[in-house]
């Protein structure tokens, strides 16, 4: 249907121009075709608007911080669940392993307990989260990183999350173990990066892409190639 849209527009324009050039000329039966094209275009536009509104509503719901869930599972498990629900992936470390990546929400090992309202057993450390090329990550969702208890999180990847701004990355500033952040393709500014770097040691690194007004700092990796 979408591939025919330019042809529909061209046909509709030709009919309208013809009507304007000859006011007394009747368009039947071609007027039916014009009305059909206009209806199709109107329907397509409404469908796109509804789909956009629905997706925006879903993203807003999923970005909210669930206080009840936080009380049940704790901050590291909550941020892991939010990461996977948004389409990202997380590096976890259990009591008896060296670490493993997880990207499927339904494979989280504590769901069997929490689905019954039981606090999860054992401990899990959240080491890294990666939202590379994930749409819908908003500043409201970034509040998850402001939770107390994220003491093992070393890396946050936000590459091409273009709705994340200086407001959102403020929540990263107090993560005690954080050493790397990828902000390439976000809406963060040089002022936001400068604030993030404040009180961080020389080993801390931030990746950005062609960002203006950056402070002169060796910890900033300013890419000039594509961020794809």
Query: What is the pLDDT averaged over residues 35-61?
Result: 63
The alpha carbon of residue 183 and the mean position of all alpha carbons in its chain are separated, in whole angstroms, by 12
Query: What is the pLDDT averaged over residues 108-119?
Result: 91
Looking at the structure, tell me whether residues 48 and 72 fall in a common domain.
no
28 contact partners, CB below 8 Å, separation of at least 6: none
Please state, in angstroms and as integers, the Cα–Cα distance from residue 128 to each residue in 17, 84, 94, 102, 214, following that order. 60, 12, 13, 11, 25
pLDDT tops 80 at residue 52: no
Domain span holding position 114 = 67-223
Query: What is the pLDDT averaged over residues 2-20?
Result: 46
Q: Out of 24, 39, 60, pick the residue that ends a domain.
A: 60
Looking at the structure, tell me whether residues 112 and 212 fall in a common domain.
yes
Q: Which segments of the chain does DSSP mark as H helices, in order? A: 5-21, 30-63, 67-73, 75-85, 111-114, 166-169, 190-197
How would residue 2 be classed by pLDDT, with cut points 50, 70 and 90? very low
Residue 139 lies in a domain: yes
Total tally of structural domains belonging to the chain = 2
Looking at the structure, tell me whether residues 15 and 124 fall in a common domain.
no
Query: What is the pLDDT averaged over residues 195-209?
Result: 95
Q: Out of 38, 60, 82, pick the residue that ends a domain.
A: 60
Looking at the structure, tell me whether residues 163 and 55 fall in a common domain.
no
pLDDT at 181: 98
Looking at the structure, tell me whether residues 184 and 161 fall in a common domain.
yes
Query: What is the pLDDT averaged over residues 164-181?
Result: 97
pLDDT at 5: 45
How would residue 123 be classed by pLDDT, with cut points 50, 70 and 90? confident
Query: What is the pLDDT averaged over residues 177-194?
Result: 96
Residue 228 lies in a domain: no
Angstrom distance (rounded) from CA 49 to CA 211: 32
Looking at the structure, tell me whether residues 56 and 72 fall in a common domain.
no
Residue 138 lies in a domain: yes
Query: What is the pLDDT averaged over residues 6-25?
Result: 46
Please, which residues bridge with residue 207 across strands?
Answer: 182, 221
Looking at the structure, tell me whether residues 55 and 100 fall in a common domain.
no
pTM of the predicted protein model: 0.74
pLDDT at 168: 97
pLDDT at 10: 46
- Which tens digits make up the pLDDT trace of 134-172? 999 999 999 999 999 999 999 999 999 999 999 999 999
CATH number of 200's domain: 3.80.10.10
Looking at the structure, tell me whether residues 110 and 8 fall in a common domain.
no
């Amino acid at each position: 249907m979408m591939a025919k849209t330019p042809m529909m527009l061209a046909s509709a324009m030709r009919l309208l121009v013809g009507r304007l050039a000859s006011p007394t000329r009747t368009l039947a039966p071609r007027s039916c075709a014009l009305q059909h094209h206009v209806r199709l275009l109107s329907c397509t536009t409404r469908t796109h608007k509804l789909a956009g509104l629905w997706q925006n509503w879903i993203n807003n719901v999923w970005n909210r911080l669930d206080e009840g869930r936080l009380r049940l599972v704790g901050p590291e498990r909550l941020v892991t669940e939010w990461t996977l629900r948004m389409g990202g992936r997380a590096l976890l470390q259990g009591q008896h392993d060296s670490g493993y990546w997880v990207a499927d929400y339904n494979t989280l090992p504590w769901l069997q307990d929490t689905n019954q309202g039981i606090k999860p057993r054992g401990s899990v450390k959240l080491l890294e989260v990666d939202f590379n090329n994930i749409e819908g990550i908003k500043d409201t969702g970034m509040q998850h990183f402001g939770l107390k208890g994220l003491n093992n999180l070393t890396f946050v990847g936000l590459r091409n999350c273009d709705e994340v701004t200086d407001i959102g990355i403020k929540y990263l500033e107090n993560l005690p173990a954080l050493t790397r952040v990828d902000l390439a393709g976000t809406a963060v500014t040089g002022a936001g990066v400068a604030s993030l770097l404040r009180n961080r040691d020389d080993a801390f690194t931030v990746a950005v892409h062609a960002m203006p007004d950056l402070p002169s700092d060796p910890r900033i990796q300013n890419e000039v190639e594509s961020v794809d």
